[in-house]
């Protein structure tokens, strides 16, 4: 069972990261929510190369496979290759991965409304693939299910995800 708490700010678990994050907000996911129940039938696409896509027949990963019986931290951001995301949001997670593991977290996942090939190329550029599992939510269905979308058309990005973190109790 995957329970989750959402913080738009930070927590003791990730003090160093919280400073980089934005302000609080209210979403469909709140303390005590079970993510898989809140977003049934939703899948994410693991960051991969096109060849890996072909080899896996472009398979997607259902949420329950990501969260089942695991303690997972998932953080979302507006866009691959954008400033704050690349320079301030991802690096602290990569640098502090050992601290997460020491606290019993099985994996740290980064997700954005981008296709999995762009996510893969970006993850490789940030040299973060070993520490963090990157997933794409190419059509925004994961974020729409959890009411974590924001309209960034003004920045020419369209509908994207909020900046957030979800972690288990």
Partner 1 sequence: MAPIAVGSVIPDGTLAYLDDDNKPQTVSIHSLAAAKKVIIFGVPGAFTPTCSLKHVPGFIERAEELKGKGVDEIICISVNDPFVMNSWAKTFPENKHVKFLADGAAKYTNALGLELDLSDKGLGVRSKRFALLVEDLKVKVANVESGGEFTISSAEEIIKAL
Of 27-35, 89-97, 103-111, 120-128, the window that binds partner 1 (rule: CB under 8 A) is: 120-128
State yes or no: residue 156 binds partner 1 (CB under 8 A).
yes
Name the catalytic one among 38, 72, 80, 85.
Answer: 85
Asked if residues 132 and 93 have their Cβ atoms less than 8 Å apart, the reply is yes
Asked if residues 37 and 57 have their Cβ atoms less than 8 Å apart, the reply is no
Asked if 110 is an active-site residue, the reply is: no
Distances (CA, A) of 97 to 2, 73, 102, 107: 20, 11, 9, 9
State yes or no: residue 118 binds partner 1 (CB under 8 A).
yes
Give the whole-angstrom CA distance, residue 118 versus residue 160.
15
State yes or no: residue 100 binds partner 1 (CB under 8 A).
no
- Determine the straight-line distance between the first and last CA of the chain, rounded to whole angstroms: 11
State yes or no: residue 75 binds partner 1 (CB under 8 A).
no
* The one among 67, 75, 93, 122 contacting partner 1 by CB under 8 A: 122
Give the binding site for partner 1 (CB under 8 A).
45, 49-51, 53, 58, 60, 79-83, 114-118, 120-122, 125, 136, 138-139, 153, 155-158
């Amino acid at each position: 069972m995957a329970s989750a708490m959402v913080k738009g700010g930070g927590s003791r678990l990730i003090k160093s990261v919280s400073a980089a994050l934005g302000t609080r907000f209210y979403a469909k996911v709140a303390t005590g929510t079970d993510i898989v129940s809140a977003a049934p039938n939703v899948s994410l696409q693991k960051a991969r190369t096109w060849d890996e896509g072909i080899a896996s027949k472009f398979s997607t990963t259902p949420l329950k496979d990501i969260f089942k019986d695991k303690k997972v931290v998932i953080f979302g951001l507006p866009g691959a290759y954008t400033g704050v995301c690349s320079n301030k949001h991802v690096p602290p997670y990569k640098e502090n991965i050992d601290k997460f593991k020491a606290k019993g977290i099985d994996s740290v996942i980064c997700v954005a409304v981008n296709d999995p090939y762009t996510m893969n190329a970006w993850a490789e550029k940030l040299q973060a693939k070993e520490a963090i599992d990157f997933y794409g939510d190419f059509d925004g269905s994961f974020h729409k299910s959890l009411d974590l979308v924001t309209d960034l058309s003004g920045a020419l990005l369209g509908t994207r995800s909020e900046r957030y973190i979800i972690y288990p109790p």
